[in-house]
Structure 1
Amino acid sequence: MQNEVEVILLERNSTPEETIEEIISQFENLHIKDRQLRLKERIDELDGEIMSLLPTVGNILDSSVPIHKTDDATSEQPLTALFMNKRLTDFDLPKIYAGESLCFRKEAGAYGKDNAGIFRPSESEMYHDQMLNISREFYESLDLSYQVVLISSGEMNDAASKKYDLEAFFPNAGKYRELVSASNCTDYQSRNLNVYYGFTKANEKPQFVHMLNSTLCAIQRTLCCIVENYQDGLKIIVPEVLRKYVTFDYIE
């Protein structure tokens, strides 16, 4: 992977700022591969029929307008749709995927826009904690100060039964801001998509799988956080963990 990163730097006539953004993306992929997660190819559009079965993000869709194709707002959407109308066995589970998304949504690029009792089986809780820990390790490796917030039920959408936000500290604002959202949706999505497991008998209800999702790295937000935390007034220092992938230690 390091050789691949070096090739990217040689082939692209990039500014240091563009190079750092590219390296963060590559470092994220390394973090995923080190944990043996399956990285799926990026899908930017979904059929309108499929999207109508999934929870929307940030009021992206106007339900009064018929649509045939929709830009996805998070990789969670195409990844969950992979299993639509599928029956899985115990041997198939768990399935853990990582995905990349351009995150088409209203608040994209709007800096500061973020200011504005369900039974949960222990099995999916365990994987929820694992997903959050992967994100924790990623930001700890960048040496960024963060806090984890358990979101109250009144602040969540209908899909999630439990949700954590990982918020990193932005010195300029003097506040912690969200970089990661990790949600346990239990069977809310799988019921709409008809994704279940086991053999169903006559008059027996299907056992729907539980679906969980978590951000690893929102690249632009993370880049803003690095810029604010690693500048000394004259230059921006490259985080130590990223220096082996670039040919410079700071940006003036």
Structure 2
Amino acid sequence: MFDIKWIRANAEAFDAAISRRKGVSVRSSDLLAIDDRRREIIASLNEVQEKRNALSKQIGQAKAQKDEAKAAELMAEVAALKEFIPQGEADERAVELELRNALSVLPNLAFEDVPDGVDETDNVEYFGPNGSPATAAKARAPKPSFAFAPKEHYEVGVAANGDMDFELAAKLSGSRFVVLKGQVARLERALGQFMLDLHTTEHGYTEVQPPLLVKDDALYGTNQLPKFEEDLFFTPHGDGRLALIPTAEVPLTNLVRESILGEEVLPMRLTALTPCFRSEAGSAGRDTRGMLRQHQFNKVEMVSITTPETSVDEHERMLTCAEAVLQKLGLHYRVMTLCTGDLGFGAKKTYDLEVWLPGQDTYREISSVSVCGDFQARRMDARYRPAGEKQAPRFVHTLNGSGTAVGRCLIAVLENYQQEDGSVLVPEVLQPYMGGLTSIGGR
């Protein structure tokens, strides 16, 4: 959400920045025209209020002088003004809503160092603040080599033999669901617990178990509403509705909504392992086989609440936390900086971690790590008071990232650790979560 005062003071800069975002035709003049009408209405109301106050004073003077005719004349003028005020206030509310709606569907402004582009083909590989391909490669596992043709995750023996059942899920719930059983279910649970333990014990995140159903206000705060309503699942609740969370980013970030924090509690780092629910509207025909694109999936989410001065550094830190998951699992991956045409609605900059899937012979996104600046904070009215300062509270900055998508990580483990006999080796860091098992499945 943008501050219309900032847009008015920086109209040219706003137009230059918003023009970089895909599919946005709105310019500052459109928004300022609405704000001009709002300001005119407010000015008229103030003028009427001032005139009414002046007339009321004159009525008192006329009565004091026992000039009843003059008092009656003035009271008639006041009555006429009173009739204008309710309509003026209604007009003010209507134009303020119009302005809010116009601002709420505008995406965030990208940082200057975000590459321009149209879609994912224009994303740029990223090697760290001072990195290079050679140095970055040292921290990443190499691509695995196979003496046989690697299979996709749903074809790997341990999954194909009934522990990954799409037909049964379709009977229960329809397409884009899966039933995991036996050792595959245990492996997925192990992945989630491993990620959660890593982020809480080594990366300083506080574990949270948030509600899975949230109000519209929470969705608005993290910019799922109003633009992405069709991607959500809603259920009636009382006189309104609640939504199943599309990501734990929603409840975690909204933990600070409508509050003023002390600077000493920042950065606030939160993590949660939750189911996530998405309708996948607009993805018809994409990834229809396997677990890549599901209506329900588990994900470990990371959220940081910071000061404006530290949010860029926090973004780099959050990226390393997500990378650590893949590094400890021994999975080959790359990091991509998303271009302006692929950048998420609320992000100023996003890194995607793409894991190598040998069964598909390609990289697939497994984590997105984004810095949002004060874009979400303004929608949530989430602020902090700088230490030792008496100035007005400032908006916090928010960040979010997958740490990582558990289902997609399961896919990566199945494909990268598959053996010719259909079994799957268990990565060393997961073995304690698997009761010491070193492999699952096989003949």
Same fold (TM over 0.5): yes
Provide the TM-score with structure 2 as the length reference.
Answer: 0.48
Which of 256, 263, 266 matches 1:83? 256
Measure, in 2, the Cα distance between the counterparts of 1:53 and 1:97. 17
Provide the TM-score with structure 1 as the length reference.
Answer: 0.82
After superposition, where does 1:73-222 map in structure 2 within 5 Å? 73-107=246-280, 111=291, 123-198=310-385, 206-222=393-409
* Residue identity opposite 2:346 in structure 1: A
Which of 415, 424, 427 matches 1:236? 424
* Residue identity opposite 1:72 in structure 2: I
Counterpart contact for 2:233–2:243, Cα < 8 Å: no
Question: Structure 1 regions of 5+ residues with no counterpart?
Answer: 1-13, 115-120
- TM-superposition CA deviations, 1:87-115 (whole Å, max 9, x none): 1122121111112221111239855559x
Counterpart contact for 1:166–1:180, Cα < 8 Å: yes
Give 1 or 2: higher helix fraction. 2
Which of 40, 43, 61 matches 2:211? 43
Q: Is the alpha carbon distance of 1:166 and 1:180 closer, same or farther for their aligned partners in structure 2, counting shifts above 3 Å?
A: same
* Residue identity opposite 1:166 in structure 2: L
Residue 53 (str. 1) matches residue 221 (str. 2): yes
| Partner in structure 1 of residue 439 of structure 2 | 250
Q: CA deviation at 1:180?
A: 0.6
Q: CA deviation at 1:48?
A: 2.1
Secondary structure of 1:143's aligned partner: coil
| Partner in structure 1 of residue 112 of structure 2 | none
Which of 244, 266, 273 matches 1:71? 244
Measure, in 2, the Cα distance between the counterparts of 1:52 and 1:170. 35
Question: Structure 2 regions of 5+ residues with no counterpart?
Answer: 1-180, 295-307
* Residue identity opposite 1:101 in structure 2: T
Counterpart contact for 2:319–2:369, Cα < 8 Å: yes
Measure, in 2, the Cα distance between the counterparts of 1:178 and 1:142. 16
* Residue identity opposite 1:96 in structure 2: R
- TM-superposition CA deviations, 1:208-234 (whole Å, max 9, x none): 100001100211110011101001221
- Runs of 4 or more, structure 1, over 4 Å off, are 108-114
The aligned length equals: 231
Measure, in 1, the Cα distance between the counterparts of 2:433 and 2:262. 42
Q: CA deviation at 1:127?
A: 0.5
Counterpart contact for 1:49–1:68, Cα < 8 Å: no
Q: CA deviation at 1:67?
A: 5.0
Q: CA deviation at 1:46?
A: 0.4
Q: CA deviation at 1:86?
A: 0.3
Structure showing greater radius of gyration is 2
* Residue identity opposite 1:41 in structure 2: Q
Q: Is the alpha carbon distance of 1:62 and 1:168 closer, same or farther for their aligned partners in structure 2, counting shifts above 3 Å?
A: closer
| Partner in structure 2 of residue 25 of structure 1 | 192
* Residue identity opposite 1:248 in structure 2: L
Measure, in 2, the Cα distance between the counterparts of 1:27 and 1:198. 36
Query: Percent of aligned positions with the same letter in both sequences?
Result: 28
Secondary structure of 2:274's aligned partner: coil
Which of 173, 183, 187 matches 1:16? 183
